[in-house]
Structures are given as structure tokens and as C-alpha cells.
Chains A and B, each alone.
Chain A
Amino acid sequence: EPEVTQTPSHQVTQMGQEVILRCVPISNHLYFYWYRQILGQKVEFLVSFYNNEISEKSEIFDDQFSVERPDGSNFTLKIRSTKLEDSAMYFCASLGQGTTGSYNEQFFGPGTRLTVL
């Protein structure tokens, strides 16, 4: 069964450093999302991406964040200058049309645990 993959599974970085989190969505999906989950808190939406542009972003997704689909398969989240409060589990998700043509559920990757020291 197709699945969303994410790399790395765990990233440790120093405050102020740039990190890139990578995701490979399911191949025929057209909508892509990033969510994050700070330890002990609920899952929060960061950004959605469709047709090579951001379709929606949350207040969390400030100028330090960017997303890109550089090669038609990968979907990346970049944090330019990490802060301690960026420490969280980051989930990528993708969405495609089902057999009836409707959009049903988002498929989530296993997540990247980002630790900022």
C-alpha cells in the first residue's frame, strides 16, 4: 500500500541553525500539508500546498518557515533559524482523489522529531 515517508526520523540541531525536513507524499496526490505536535499538545496545522504554491498557512508559519516541492516528488519544510520552541514532531500529509473522485482522508507520514538545543 502506498505511504507517505519522512526523513530524517529524528533531527537534533542548535538554536539558530537551519533545518530541512523532507517528505515524499503518495505519488498521485496533489495536496500536501505540514502539521506539528509539540510534546504533550495537540496536532497543529502549519501549511497546505497545492499546484506549486501555498494555499493556506497558520499564524505559526512565519517568515522563518518555507515549503518547497523541488523535484515533483519531495515536499520539504525549511526552518531558517530554529528556536527552542520549534522543538516538536513534524508530520507531513498528502491527499488525493479516491476511486469515486472525491477527496477523503489525509495520509500522514511517521513524523520527524525535531529537537532544538
Chain B
Amino acid sequence: AQSVTQLDSHVSVSEGTPVLLRCNYSSSYSPSLFWYVQHPNKGLQLLLKYTSAATLVKGINGFEAEFKKSETSFHLTKPSAHMSDAAEYFCVVSDRPGNTGKLIFGQGTTLQVKP
């Protein structure tokens, strides 16, 4: 069965410093992986997706993630945090090949950005 583990429940950074949100996955096939962001009282917005193309994936708002099969990781990074990045971030894996199955969410990481 597919699963994702987000290694940090809470990350705090200062504005202008790098962001690293860690995610490990488990999958019996070559997975499709996603990062979604949820701002307070808002819905889920796709940041980026990996669907077996380039291993370094660029997303919106300066975020990127690298798929590392050898480490079963899909960490989310951003070179310089902005106050507006404060939100809940979810690492997500698709349940089956072809992406028509359900999504399996990690527990979420709360990103706090301090001025």
C-alpha cells in the first residue's frame, strides 16, 4: 500500500531564510507525488507534482521538490521564505498508477514564518 510520512509536524523559519519540508514515501510502484498547501480557512491548492518526468520539479511561488528514489524522499524546498508562505503543507501520493485512484495524504507540516 502507498503511504507518505511527513517528518516534521511543525517547521519555523525566519523570513528570507530557506525552507525545507521533509517527506518520505512508500510505494509498490513508481509513484505520483504531490505537495498541496492549505492556507488558514482555505481549500487545498496544488504546489507541484511529480509524475515520472524530471526528478526536480518546480512549482508555484518559488517552491520545488526533488524525487529521490534511492532515499524514497520528496522533500519540498524554497530558497527564501516569505511571510505569505505560512500555511499547512501536505505531501500526497496517488494510490495507484494512472492517478485515477484516491490520494493519500501525509499528516501535514505547519510552516511558521517569523519576521
On A, residues with C-beta under 8 Å from B are 31, 33, 35, 42-45, 48, 50, 56, 58, 91, 93, 95, 102-111
Contacts and interface: CB of A to CB of B under 8 A. Distances in A.
Contact of B102 (A42, A45, A108, A111): A45
B46 interface: yes
B98 interface: yes
B107 interface: yes
B90 A50 contact: no
Interface of B: 32, 34, 36, 42-46, 49, 51, 90, 98-108
Most buried by A among B42, B43, B106, B108: B43
Contacts of A42: 90, 105-108
Contact of A108 (B44, B51, B99): B44
Contacts of A110: 42-43
Contacts of A50: 100
A65 to B, nearest CB: 15
Contacts of A93: 103
